[in-house]
Amino acid sequence: MQLLMDGYSENKDLLQNEEFLRELLTDYPSKIGMTRISDPHIIRFTDCEPEEWGISGFVFLAESHIAIHTFVERSYVNIDVFSCKDFDTSVAAEDLRKRFRLTQWRVSLAEREWSRSSPDSKNPSLFTYNGS
Amino acid sequence: MQLLMDGYSENKDLLQNEEFLRELLTDYPSKIGMTRISDPHIIRFTDCEPEEWGISGFVFLAESHIAIHTFVERSYVNIDVFSCKDFDTSVAAEDLRKRFRLTQWRVSLAEREWSRSSPDSKNPSLFTYNGS
């Protein structure tokens, strides 16, 4: 299952705080039952349009990965939590909403497992909900 | 736009070839008009159920990231190409299908940009198509 979360934060400082992102990517996987198998990779991106700069972070999980991209001037963040094992996406989304202090957000879920032996499994379960 | 591609390869050797993955993550971004801003990160994951081992790769782009996870024994691969700029997802999917020699595949597209100033933009454009 892959959680795709996009939202607007009320706190721009968080979105440019590399330590916040590093700590989140370090500690968060175990809190949602996942196993981190690399250190977090963090990068600051400024070679762009002035309103598009931000920080990005990534960590490998035994179960797949977490990737986060912030766009500081727009107060915007994209979050991917991708696990080949099931996890409680509602709990994860609510927790991430609070951590990033999102005032508006959107969550999409994509089922990434797909069995070729079952034709019905060709229909993926993609669904989305919004919050504010 | 984010391209989520899942598929089965006819070539297990490719799915365990770290150099293939490293070269792809090094060269591919520029071929689809994207700017790579990090070296690829590659990891081999074997501390798992015997049928779940594989390799994973990730690279930061100016436009966001590419992440790939293989599951060698199942001949399965998950590919994410996430760009905050538009790109030709049909061309990218067809190219990735050929590179990974996928015999069955599924593509989902997720629009990750979302303007809070326009209520209509709360409806994301998520859609999926299959191939074999």
pLDDT tens for chain B, 132 residues: list them: 899 999 999 999 999 999 999 999 999 999 988 999 999 999 999 888 888 899 999 999 988 999 999 999 999 999 999 998 888 999 999 999 999 999 999 888 888 887 776 545 544 555 667 776
What are the CA-CA distances from residue A40 to residues A13, A76, B7, B77, B116 (Å)?
20, 21, 27, 23, 30
Question: How confident is the model at residue B118, as a pLDDT?
Answer: 59
The HSE-up count of residue A6 (CA atoms within 13 Å, CB side) is 23
Question: How confident is the model at residue B104, as a pLDDT?
Answer: 92
- Residues of chain B contacting residue A6, judged by C-beta atoms under 8 Å apart: 112-114
Question: How confident is the model at residue B103, as a pLDDT?
Answer: 94
How far is Cα A93 from Cα A66, in angstroms, rounded to an integer? 13
Token duo for residue A82: 């991708």
Token duo for residue B132: 């074999």
How far is Cα B82 from Cα B66, in angstroms, rounded to an integer? 6
Known catalytic residue at B56: no
Question: How confident is the model at residue B127, as a pLDDT?
Answer: 61
| Average confidence (pLDDT) over A125-130 | 63
Question: Which residue among B30, B41, B48, B84 is the active-site one?
Answer: B84
State the average pLDDT for chain A: 88
How far is Cα B21 from Cα B40, in angstroms, rounded to an integer? 9
A65, A36 in Cβ contact below 8 A? no
Domains along chain B? 2-131 (3.60.90.10)
Residue A128: pLDDT band with limits 50, 70, 90: low
Which residue of chain B has the CA closest to A67? B65
- Residues of chain A contacting residue B34, judged by C-beta atoms under 8 Å apart: none
Question: How confident is the model at residue B17, as a pLDDT?
Answer: 98
How far is Cα B95 from Cα B29, in angstroms, rounded to an integer? 12
| Average confidence (pLDDT) over A33-47 | 93
| Average confidence (pLDDT) over A70-95 | 92
Token duo for residue A24: 């989140």
According to the per-residue pLDDT averaged within each range, which of A1-5, A68-72, A113-117, B126-130 is highest?
A68-72
Q: DSSP letter at A116? A: T
Q: Do the Cβ atoms of B47 and A41 come within 8 Å? A: no
Question: How confident is the model at residue A125, as a pLDDT?
Answer: 52
How far is Cα B121 from Cα B123, in angstroms, rounded to an integer? 5
SS3 A76: strand
Between A77 and B85, the higher pLDDT residue: A77
Q: What is the DSSP string of A85-105?
A: S---HHHHHHHHHHHTTEEEE
Chain B contacts to A (CB-CB under 8 A): 2, 4, 6, 8, 37-38, 41, 43, 45, 47-48, 52, 56, 58, 60, 62, 64-65, 67, 69, 71, 78, 80, 82, 84, 104, 106, 108, 110, 112-114, 116, 122, 124, 126, 128, 130
Over residues A50-60, the pLDDT tens digits come to 888 999 999 99
Residue A123: pLDDT band with limits 50, 70, 90: very low
How far is Cα A42 from Cα A55, in angstroms, rounded to an integer? 7
Question: How confident is the model at residue B84, as a pLDDT?
Answer: 81
Count of CB contacts below 8 A, A vs B?
Answer: 106
Between A20 and B128, the higher pLDDT residue: A20
How far is Cα A104 from Cα A77, in angstroms, rounded to an integer? 11
A72–chain B nearest CA distance, Å: 14
B41, A38 in Cβ contact below 8 A? yes
Between A38 and A123, the higher pLDDT residue: A38
How far is Cα A111 from Cα A98, in angstroms, rounded to an integer? 24
